[in-house]
């Protein structure tokens, strides 16, 4: 997975919509990943809240005849900002439907949620960005490699493609295989700015996730009900470690 795609050109000057992610940049925001309706029910009862926003993985929860929208709305109404992600099987998720349907779901979700996450190499990225920005909502452009950490040149190109496409946050999640991989990711965080923040995740190593968050990664992912990646911690534990220094 070392050949990033061509980014679709954007016809308007770049601007960001980061106001849709309150607090971003002041410290790493903790994202609690939800994979089930039961997990959402439990999350609504949690006090104190263990995360800053909730990622609703629609590819894992399923739609339940539209009940997912009601549950996202309930989370939002309770003060939990929701990030909607629909990851396909080719991207490491469990969405097996057609792309037009996935685009429709993103558009429906944007009426409710705070933000959305789409893979940078997905052809849906430009229309999702257009739909999100029309509602003044931010988009996270993601890149995943579950097998290794690609070379620096590849990752820098991916970051550039994310910005060119109009993403508000670029997220890199790669598998760590050596200390050199972590050193590379830490160095890449120097490219981040308050206007163009980076989320960088080293999969497979819980300590590396903490190190990257402390070094400037704008988002840190933990789970609310079930882990979705190797080395992913419970978000309450992750938040406690980050906030405890």
The residues assigned a catalytic role are: 144, 171
Helices (H), the chain: 37-44, 58-61, 67-77, 99-109, 125-134, 152-165, 179-188, 206-214, 235-243
Look at the block and give the residue holding tokens 């949690």: 46
Q: What value does the CA radius of gyration of the chain take, rounded to a whole number of Å?
A: 17
- Residue burial 185-222, b: 16+ Cβ < 10 Å; e: rest: bbebbebbeeebbbbbbbbbbbebbbebbebbbbbbbb
- Residue burial 120-130, b: 16+ Cβ < 10 Å; e: rest: bbbebbbebbe
Taking the C-alpha atoms of residue 116 and residue 132, their distance in angstroms, rounded to an integer, is 8
Taking the C-alpha atoms of residue 76 and residue 54, their distance in angstroms, rounded to an integer, is 9
The token duo for 63 is 């739609």
């Amino acid at each position: 997975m070392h050949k990033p795609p061509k980014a679709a050109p954007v016809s308007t000057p770049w601007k960001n919509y980061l106001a849709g992610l309150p607090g971003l940049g002041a410290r790493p925001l903790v994202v609690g990943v939800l994979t089930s309706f039961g997990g959402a029910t439990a999350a609504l009862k949690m006090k104190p809240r263990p995360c800053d926003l909730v990622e609703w993985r629609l590819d894992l929860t399923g739609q339940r005849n539209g009940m997912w929208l009601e549950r996202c709305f309930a989370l939002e109404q309770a003060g939990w900002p929701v990030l909607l992600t629909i990851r396909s099987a080719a991207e490491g998720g469990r969405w097996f439907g057609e792309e037009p349907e996935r685009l429709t779901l993103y558009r429906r979700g944007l009426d409710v949620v705070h933000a959305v996450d789409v893979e940078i190499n997905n052809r849906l990225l430009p229309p999702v960005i257009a739909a999100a920005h029309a509602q003044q909502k931010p988009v996270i452009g993601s890149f995943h490699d579950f097998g290794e950490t690609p070379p620096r040149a590849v990752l820098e190109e991916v970051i550039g493609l994310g910005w060119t496409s109009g993403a508000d946050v670029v997220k890199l999640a790669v598998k760590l295989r050596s200390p050199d991989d972590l050193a590379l990711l830490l160095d890449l965080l120097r490219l981040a700015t308050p206007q163009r923040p980076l989320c960088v995740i080293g999969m497979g190593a819980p300590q590396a996730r903490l190190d990257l968050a402390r070094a400037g990664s704008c988002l840190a992912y933990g789970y609310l009900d079930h882990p979705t990646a190797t080395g992913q911690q419970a978000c309450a534990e992750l938040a406690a470690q980050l906030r405890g220094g």
